[in-house]
Amino acid sequence: PAAVHAGRPALVLGAVDGCVTTFAVVAGAVGARFDPVVVIVLGLANLFADGFSMAVSNYLGTKSERQQLEKARREEELHLREIPDGEREEIRQIFQAKGLSGNELEQIVAAVTSNRQRWISTMIQEEYGLSLQGASPLRAAAITFVAFVLLGALPLTSFIWQLFAPGKTIEPYLFSSLIAVTAFFFVGAVKGRFLLQSWYWAGTETALIGSAAAALAYIVGMVLKGVVR
């Protein structure tokens, strides 16, 4: 189960960040009264550069977590070879802290320490607080990048459509806003389901945060439009 769900945080994080940052760039460019072509160029540049940066960060972070897991495993293997009695006592204290005692406690200690790999895994989880199922760094990075680009491209679709079919869509920024807010809500709702939260509240919260970021970018663009022209 842990391995199966390993890509979910990367998927949700990439999707939320992609849509929020790209829509903020679009809003800032529109606020500064840039031409639609400039909006597209800035949006696409941000989309791929920021998506790549986020994927690399996720790769390095996930790789670091796996290295911590491997280091903890090596340390526990060394401890089991050199001080097995001390490690057995640690197991006893761990389960004693969970409320076990007497024969029940000794049976659990005997069961855990009778299998070397089970013993090491228990120590890694209980002493270090690490998950035994580390995510693949490359997979996490790829999921982040794909989610970032796919969701982040949505606020640009109306501008790209207008470029190739002028006059055949509603005002592109209004259409972009509707798409972005819908995407914010959908991704937030999915995040809520993963975190066992109210999907409606999680979706609404994400939509409000994304809209606030875009509004701030729009205001900054309006204020600075005289400077960049």
Pick the closest to residue 76 from 22, 130, 138 (CA basis). 130
Residue 161 has pLDDT above 60, yes or no: yes
pTM of the model: 0.74
Residues in CB range of 41: below 8 A, 6 or more apart = none
Residue 227 has pLDDT above 70, yes or no: no
State pLDDT tens for residues 167-219.
665 688 888 888 988 988 988 888 777 767 788 888 898 889 888 988 898 89
pLDDT band at 1 (very low <50, low <70, confident <90, very high): very low
State pLDDT tens for residues 149-160.
998 899 999 898
pLDDT at position 5, please? Answer: 38
Residues in CB range of 136: below 8 A, 6 or more apart = 6, 62
pLDDT band at 8 (very low <50, low <70, confident <90, very high): low
By residue count, the chain amounts to 229
